[in-house]
Structures are given as C-alpha cells and as structure tokens.
Structure 1
C-alpha cells in the first residue's frame, strides 16, 4: 500500500512527455518494488542534452531517487536510476553480498563503492552479469544466466528465469503492480507529488 509523506520531495506537476515516460518506466523504482533501473540513450540522439537537463531538473534534488550518468563504448549514454534504501537492502543481503565479494567487489561493503565498481565495468565496455542483482533479479537467476550447472533455464518472463520460478514470478509481479500503480497515479494525479509516494 502506498503511503504519503508529509512533504513532497521531488518535482511539481509536469506535462512534459519525456518526464511522464520516464516516471512510468521508473515506477517500480519510485515505489520501492525494484532497487534500480538502467536506461540507455544512443550517442547520436540529438535531444540527449535536453533530456539530461530535464533529468537533472526534475530528479536532481530527490532524496529517494538517485542517478548516475556514464558512457558505454562511445555508443551510448547510460543512466542508472536507483533508490538507495532499496538497493542497499539488496546488496547487503547475505547471499548477494557473499556472491559479489567472490567476484571481486570490495570486502568492505559500501553502496557507493559497489555502484562505482559495477559502473566502471560498463565504462570499460562490459555489461557485467551481476547487474541483474542491482536491478532486483533473484540471485539464482543471475547465477543461472552465468552458467551455473545446477540451474536450468525455466522460462523468460521479464528476464531469464532459472530453476524454481516461484521467487522470480513473485518479483516480476511486484514490478508489474508498481508499473500499474504509477500509471494510475499519472492518470489521476497528473504526476503531482508522485515521488512523495514510496
């Protein structure tokens, strides 16, 4: 259930189509169902600077949603939007933390360090398999995608699901519900104070 905070934290009402699209895409992150989302904009996009300016304007002062902008192979600009509280919870999870440390993440956990470690891999030209954890996919699906022999592909439902699909289905349903909630908020609230929900 959505709960209002006493004070709205981000943007005022906006009819900008790009911002409306962005808020709808980021719905699961805004509502805390998903820890992060990564978007990619081609380098030849003539409106890229305008889009980045809008993101800075509307999201720059958010306390709940943060973002990092970086480049990938000179082909695209990527923006990782994340909810620090949610992402911190995912990365601190014992099994997730143990796995990330086993593949070279710092032994001492720090959200900023872990984000920068993952982003540095992308900047150097590789989309790391473990990005799935940052995006909220279950560890078993990340391990299965990486080729763990005991995890067989079960289905594709938003991402590649390996082994028992119960947790994956539940996670995917939460993402879909959050998208539907944001869509309703955009319809009835016209985006006014949407980011005061979480």
Structure 2
C-alpha cells in the first residue's frame, strides 16, 4: 500500500484536525495487505493513529485511519451516542463500535449512514442525513450539511488546504512520520 495514498486521502487525520478518514485500495493477497497495515501502524501508532481494514471484497479493501482518542471523545457525546443506540450499537466505546461498524459494512454493499460519526462529522449532520434520506442538505462538501453551514464550509476549506500542503510536503520528500502530528 503506497504511503502516498494515505497522504492523499488522510492528511487531515495525520495533521490531528480530523478524527478519521476512509480510503479504498487494491490488494493482491490478504497477507500482503495485513503486512502493509502492520508496517504503517508501527510508524503511526506511537503518534496516536491506527489503521484497520473495515471491509474486504474482491481484491479491494476499505481502510480506516483514525485517532482513537478523538474517536472515543466524538462517540461519547450525547448526540452521537443517541444515534448509535438508535441504530442498535450495544456498547458505546470506540473499539466495540468499530467492530460493529465493520460488521455492518460487511453485511451491506453500501455504507451505514452512521459512518460519518467515525469520521468526525457533526452528529447533527449525520442525524440530518439519516432523517432526510440524504436529501435537502444546506450544502455539500466532505459531507452533507444539515446544521451549521458556515462552520462546515470553514472545515471543508481547512481539510482541503491541509491536504494540499501535505501532498506538497510529501512530494518534497517528507516522510509520513514527519508529517504526522502526535497526540
């Protein structure tokens, strides 16, 4: 798995300004994929970041790169916990919730709508997406916004700028370890 793929899709998480990112990659064998994930985790876990596969299907992997501390705080909010409880999540703790999310992803070709909570999206936007069946958003960027449009636009711009800077720094030879902000 090329580190450039991680930089391109996960820069805001590496920078510490986002809870998590998802990206898809191809793989030849599960052994090779898991070896690549272990190698990345050896570099990033000391900085407070973990990478795990959420779904494997026909030579493609859906990879989740996240900050466990941020995720625990996000899911502990009353609004996020209420959404997860309504959807049948039994234990509102990051590890248990990730396992349940992975099972839900494996059981469906699509994405469970609560996945936004695992990416750091505002609970009001995740709830709005679910209640409105993805329609009637105030605006769309990294996610569909149903709440604070102004704040969301600022966040979208911050993520975009971060990704541009990280891609540029990567192209200039900075390593993924140097680009990753420690918790």
Both proteins in one fold, TM over 0.5: yes
The structure number with the bigger radius of gyration is: 1
- Between the two proteins, the alignment pairs up a number of residues equal to 178
The answer to whether the 8 Å contact 2:12/2:163 transfers is yes
Q: Distance in 2 between matches of 1:38 and 1:193?
A: 19
Tell whether 2:82 aligns with 1:123: no
Q: Distance in 2 between matches of 1:178 and 1:158?
A: 13
Cross-structure match for 1:145: 129
Give the TM-score taking structure 1 as reference length.
0.74
Structure 2's unaligned 5+ residue stretches are none
Q: Distance in 1 between matches of 2:13 and 2:112?
A: 21
The answer to whether the 8 Å contact 1:129/1:145 transfers is yes
Give the TM-score taking structure 2 as reference length.
0.79
Structure 1's unaligned 5+ residue stretches are 1-16
Which is bigger in relative contact order (C-alpha 8 A, separation at least 6)? 1
Cross-structure match for 2:36: 54
Give the aligned CA root-mean-square deviation in angstroms: 2.8
- Map Cα deviations across residues 20-56 of structure 1 (whole Å, 9 max, x no partner): 33223221111121111122234xx548765553332
The answer to whether the 8 Å contact 1:36/1:81 transfers is yes
Query: For 1:26, what is the secondary structure of its paired residue?
Result: helix
